[in-house]
Amino acid sequence: MEDASLPSYDPKGDANETKIKIICLGDSAVGKSKLVERFLMDGYQPQQLSTYALTLFKHKTQVGDQEVHVDFWDTAGQERFKSMHPSYYHQAHACILVFDVTRKVTYKNLPSWFTELRHYRPEIPCLCAANKIDVDYSITKKSFNFAKKHKMPFYFVSASDGTNVVKCFRDAIKAALAYKSNSTDFMDEIMKELDNMTLDGDSISSSGFDATEQEEDKESAAKS
Amino acid sequence: MSESIILKKCGVRFTPPALIVTYTNDVGKLHRRTMPLRNFNKNSGVSRIVQEMKENKRHEKYLRHMSPLQLEKLIMILHDRLNGISLDECVMRNKGLDTVDPEEDLNKLDDVTLKRKKEIMDATFEKNRKKREDPDFKYDVEVDFEQGAIESCEWDSDKESDEEF
Ligand SMILES: Nc1nc2c(ncn2[C@@H]2O[C@H](COP(=O)(O)OP(=O)(O)OP(=O)(O)O)[C@@H](O)[C@H]2O)c(=O)[nH]1
Ligand SMILES: [Mg+2]
């Protein structure tokens, strides 16, 4: 997965130009791709990376006096693509975690996405988007505990009619920028190294995502 | 000049495998057209066959009036049938494919099935969609729902509820 053409997000760059990477996570068919497309409308050139399961959308925007280059990484929720997740998480600055309000199972799977995210990126800001509210607006009267419990900003969105999509993505960009400028976190440095190590080998196994193993990994990372 | 036709019925023939449509032409006369699936066998990939049929110049005239979902459905039935699945079961399986079960995990589906589920979802997506061309289109639509969030979602209070919720 790792190849020289993959952009690097690490250098802080000069003061007026910043590169950030934002990833989208969630089950298959929750609307991750539609949300990115809605945010970018026609102003994007998607770029398929090595496998069709991964799409990179490039976006340029202005935040204050800063020119920000945002790469949105969109991957398929399909389980068989799990093995490529390490490179997906690599150097991400923020994450949008999506579920589908019409399908309970996608909400129930949030913890496992979140655990995987925290395994690779323990500190990056994560925003939660409840998509497809256009199907039945009464859902917006409900509160969802998952986001509250993990102190995530929560958005009711619709890729279809556009509700709150722009707000959610702009907040994600701001959060990513904030994270990048204060990212001196110790744990994060360790994870960066771990990420690099994982990427060097070509035998990334999907069993490594097992919940119990993850915990161990994290501990040994903290000790080393 | 392309003749304007209206599809009336679509179906399949099992041996030898073929798609069959009936249609009326310009002057309202009823016709029937059989489109043999020449290289179709039980190991053929459904999506590849669908693609081949769509691209076939001779069939294009008829198939473009059929929804992609319908075409896939018919080929899927043929495929299942060639693999020894009973007709009843084929039809049942197809019904299942035409609905989205809110409890069903879609993360493990094959490409064809996932594509079909998404096509079903597309109906609502397109219906509710606000396009750039729409007079009331706004790029940034912000709605604050905070006030309304009073009731906690029943998805949180399940017995099976995960520790992490
Ligand atoms: N009604 C409605 N349907 C939506 C909305 N967003 C997405 N959909 C539907 O859901 C389907 C799946 O959306 P995708 O964007 O392909 O989902 P995804 O999360 O990228 O799925 P994977 O790439 O397979 O992981 C689409 O085909 C749409 O029909 C929405 O806001 N409202
Ligand atoms: Mg997608």
A85 has a pLDDT exceeding 80? no
Give the model's confidence band at A119: pLDDT under 50 very low, under 70 low, under 90 confident, else very high. Answer: very high
Q: Where are the alpha helices (DSSP H) in A26-159?
A: 32-40, 85-89, 104-108, 110-120, 145-149
Position A107 scores a pLDDT of 97
Average pLDDT of the segment spanning B81-104 = 81
Under DSSP, the state recorded for A50 is S
pLDDT tens-digit readout, B83-93: 888 888 887 77
Q: Which stretch, A6-15, A29-38, A49-58, B155-164, has highest mean pLDDT?
A: A29-38
pLDDT top residue among B152 and A108: A108
Cα(A198) to ligand 2 centroid in Å equals 25
CA nearest neighbour of A120 among A21, A10, A209, A19: A209
Handedness of CA A202, A223, A214, A103 (dihedral sign): negative
CA nearest neighbour of B157 among A144, A101, A106, A147: A144
Contact with chain A for residue B146, Cβ under 8 A: no
Position B64 scores a pLDDT of 87
Q: B36 phi and psi, to 5 degrees?
A: -70, 145
Tell me how far apart the alpha carbons of residues A153 and A170 are, in angstroms, rounded to a whole number.
Answer: 12
Average pLDDT of the segment spanning B38-50 = 83
Give the model's confidence band at A205: pLDDT under 50 very low, under 70 low, under 90 confident, else very high. Answer: very low
Position A184 scores a pLDDT of 53
Determine which residue's CA is closest to atom 4 belonging to ligand 1.
B125
pLDDT top residue among A121 and B98: A121
Determine which residue's CA is closest to atom 6 belonging to ligand 1.
A31
Cα(A172) to ligand 1 centroid in Å equals 20
Position B72 scores a pLDDT of 85
Position B113 scores a pLDDT of 83
Q: Chain A 13-72, CB below 8 Å of chain B: which residues?
A: 27-29, 34, 41-42
Domains and CATH numbers, chain A: 17-223 (3.40.50.300)
Q: Where are the alpha helices (DSSP H) in A47-200?
A: 85-89, 104-108, 110-120, 145-149, 165-182, 186-200
Angstrom distances, CA of residue A10 to CA of A57, A70, A200: 18, 13, 17
B5 has a pLDDT exceeding 90? no
Position A26 scores a pLDDT of 96
Position A219 scores a pLDDT of 40
Question: Shortest CB distance from A161 goes to which of B118, B130, B165?
Answer: B130
pLDDT tens-digit readout, A141-197: 999 999 999 999 999 999 999 999 999 999 999 999 999 987 655 445 444 554 554
Average pLDDT of the segment spanning A215-223 = 41
Question: Shortest CB distance from B118 goes to which of A29, A139, A166?
Answer: A29
| DSSP β-ladder status, A17-25 and A46-48 | unpaired
Q: Among A79-83, A129-133, A148-152, whose mean pLDDT is lowest?
A: A79-83
Q: Among A34-43, A177-186, A195-204, B95-104, whose mean pLDDT is lowest?
A: A195-204
Q: Which residues have a beta carbon within 5 Å of ligand 2, which is an ion?
A: A 33
Q: Where are the alpha helices (DSSP H) in chain B?
A: 46-55, 57-63, 68-82, 87-97, 111-128
* ipTM of the shown complex: 0.73
Q: What percent of chain A has pLDDT over 70?
A: 70
Give the model's confidence band at A215: pLDDT under 50 very low, under 70 low, under 90 confident, else very high. Answer: very low
Question: Shortest CB distance from B129 goes to which of A102, A145, A160?
Answer: A160
Residue numbers in B near A159 (CB within 8 A): 125
Give the model's confidence band at B31: pLDDT under 50 very low, under 70 low, under 90 confident, else very high. Answer: very high
Q: Which residues line ligand 1 (CB under 6 A)?
A: A 26, 28-34, 76-78, 131-132, 134-135, 158-160; B 118, 121-122, 124-125, 128
What ligand has the least distance to the C-alpha of A131? 1
CA-nearest residue of chain B to A148? Answer: B165
Position B88 scores a pLDDT of 84
